[in-house]
Amino acid sequence: MIYTEGRVVFLLEYAADSIDNLQDFSNYYIMCWMGRCWRLSKPLIFPLWFLLSHRNASLGFFIVLYRKNPSYSWESLIRISVSREMAEEAKGGVIVPESVLKKQKRNEEWTLAKNQELEASKKKKAENRKLIFKKTEQYAKEYAEQAKELIRMKREARLKGGFYVDPEAKLIFIIRIRGINAMHPQTKKILQLLRLRQIFNGVFLKVNKATMNMLHRVEPYVTYGYPNLKSVRELIYKRGYGKVNKQRIALTDNSVIEQTLGKYGIICMEDLIHEIMTVGPHFKEANNFLWPFQLKAPLGGLKKKRNHYVEGGDAGNREDYINELEHSHERVNALTVEVVIPQPPRSLPSHFHSPFAISRERELLDIIISKRTAGDLR
């Protein structure tokens, strides 16, 4: 008879006749020698005890079956010696350590779980891709309708002999333009609260009484205005970084946004742009997710950063003209033009060498450079 429990094999074929005829196992015990000590156990629970105590059957073991007589003397019925070779023969192969078997099982479970996770991720990405496409179409339609409505309102006002006044802006974009020299501690604290810790750092801000009061206190050190859709989109796409686990992570994948803002229904770049532009219900979370923008100096530098914008300087509120400043930050490297004044060839007639002809060429070249700097000439 062969008793098995898990991967442990017990050979009791020599006691087949004796054990088959037993009616009550309560009077029978098994004495087992395993490497170092003797263990006494009931026959029915011995396989379980052996499995828990000696999981690696690399050594041979010796089993003795005893019966308890009424006279309290032990009678030896069977003696079975099970060696390592007998165990291998009974199992039909080489004995593998239990630790290796556990590791194989654990690796199989991990592989299965990983494959299931990958399949679920692929399925979710496919669903999100369709959802993002629909949302993008919806947002584009919404922006187009708003632009058409604005044009219609302006035309109606013009036909009636009046003019259309735009509603008050709900979103402003702030750029720091000055350092900390001779700065009041309270002003410095406000700039820290606005996350403007370096020159040419920029952040979005919701327009309300509290934020406007703070801006008035730091107005000599910042410039701000009302960004349009194009500026918001270009800032987030070109210079946008997210805050993930207090780290600055580039927005190269929608999963970065979904990981942090997915619980608010913001799963892609267009969702983030729409939430910022419309100052939606989760504007605070979306704006806090965006790392402060690190901009470059505008082309040609600032004019007079100590003066207000209405005085010909750079500080303070410049309303819609903040969009021109943002675009000038983006075109710093693209519009670096090397000015070369052409000289007339020697083979031309003498009247081409006149000062009037050269000055005219200079004027034409200045016009071309100014148009290219303004973005009118590509």
Three-class HEC string of the chain: CEEEECCEEEECHHHHHHHHCCCCHHHEEEEEEECCEEEEECCCCHHHHHHHHCCCCCCCEEEEEEEECCCCCEEEEEEEEECHHHHHHHHCCCCCCHHHHHHHHHHHHHHHHHHHHHHHHHHHHHHHHHHHHHHHHHHHHHHHHHHHHHHHHHHHHHHCCCCCCCCCCCEEEEEECCCCCCCCHHHHHHHHHCCCCCCCEEEEEECCHHHHHHHHHCHHHEEEECCCHHHHHHHHHHHCEEEECCEEEECCCHHHHHHHHHHHCCCCHHHHHHHHHHCCCCHHHHHHHECCEECCCCCCCCCCCCCEHHHCCCEEECHHHHHHHHHHHHCCCCCCCCCCCCCCCCCCCHHHHCHHHHHHHHHHHHHHHHHHHHCCCC
User: What pLDDT band is residue 301 in, cutting at 50, 70 and 90?
Assistant: confident
Q: Given this model, what pLDDT does residue 290 score?
A: 92
Average pLDDT across the chain, whole number: 73
Q: Given this model, what pLDDT does residue 51 score?
A: 40
Span 263-286, average pLDDT: 91
List pLDDT tens digits, range 113-152.
999 999 988 888 888 888 888 888 999 999 999 999 989 9
Q: Given this model, what pLDDT does residue 273 score?
A: 92
Interior/surface letters 208-221, b for 16+ CB within 10 angstroms, e for the rest: eeeeeebbeebbbb
State the Rg of the chain over Cα: 42
List pLDDT tens digits, range 49-85.
444 444 444 444 445 555 555 444 444 444 444 444 5
Q: Is the pLDDT of residue 8 over 50?
A: no
Sequence-distant (6+) residues with CB within 8 A of 11 are 2, 80, 82, 86, 87, 90
The owner of tokens 């036909």 is 159
The answer to whether 287 and 204 have CB atoms below 8 angstroms apart is: yes
Q: Is the pLDDT of residue 373 over 70?
A: no
Q: Is the pLDDT of residue 191 over 60?
A: yes
* Backbone angles phi and psi of 113, in degrees to 5: -65, -40
Best-predicted range by mean pLDDT among 13-17, 33-37, 339-343? 33-37
Q: Is the pLDDT of residue 153 over 80?
A: yes
Q: Is the pLDDT of residue 42 over 70?
A: no
The answer to whether 222 and 201 have CB atoms below 8 angstroms apart is: no
Q: What interhelical angle do 269-278 and 98-159 show, nearest 10?
A: 40
In the CATH scheme, what is the homologous superfamily, with its name and number, of domain 171-330?
Ribosomal protein L30/L7 (3.30.1390.20)
The residue extents of the domains of the chain are: 2-95, 113-167, 171-330, 337-378
List pLDDT tens digits, range 77-121.
444 444 445 555 555 556 778 888 899 999 999 999 999 999 988
> What whole-number percentage of the chain has pLDDT above 70?
61
Q: Given this model, what pLDDT does residue 286 score?
A: 92
CA–centroid distance for 169 within its chain: 31
User: What pLDDT band is residue 310 in, cutting at 50, 70 and 90?
Assistant: confident
Q: Is the pLDDT of residue 333 over 70?
A: no
Give the residue, 25 or 31, on which the prediction is more confident.
31
Q: Report the alpha-carbon distance of residue 280 to residue 287 in Å, rounded.
A: 11
Q: Given this model, what pLDDT does residue 47 score?
A: 47
List pLDDT tens digits, range 277-293.
999 899 999 999 999 99
Q: Is the pLDDT of residue 343 over 70?
A: no
Q: Which of 195, 191, 193 is nearest to 222 (CA)?
A: 191
> What whole-number percentage of the chain has pLDDT above 90?
25
Span 245-263, average pLDDT: 89
Q: Given this model, what pLDDT does residue 128 score?
A: 84
Q: Given this model, what pLDDT does residue 78 score?
A: 44
CA distances from 359 to 104, 108, 326, 339, 355 (A): 85, 82, 34, 15, 6
Q: Given this model, what pLDDT does residue 75 score?
A: 46
Q: Given this model, what pLDDT does residue 309 score?
A: 85
User: What pLDDT band is residue 371 in, cutting at 50, 70 and 90?
Assistant: low
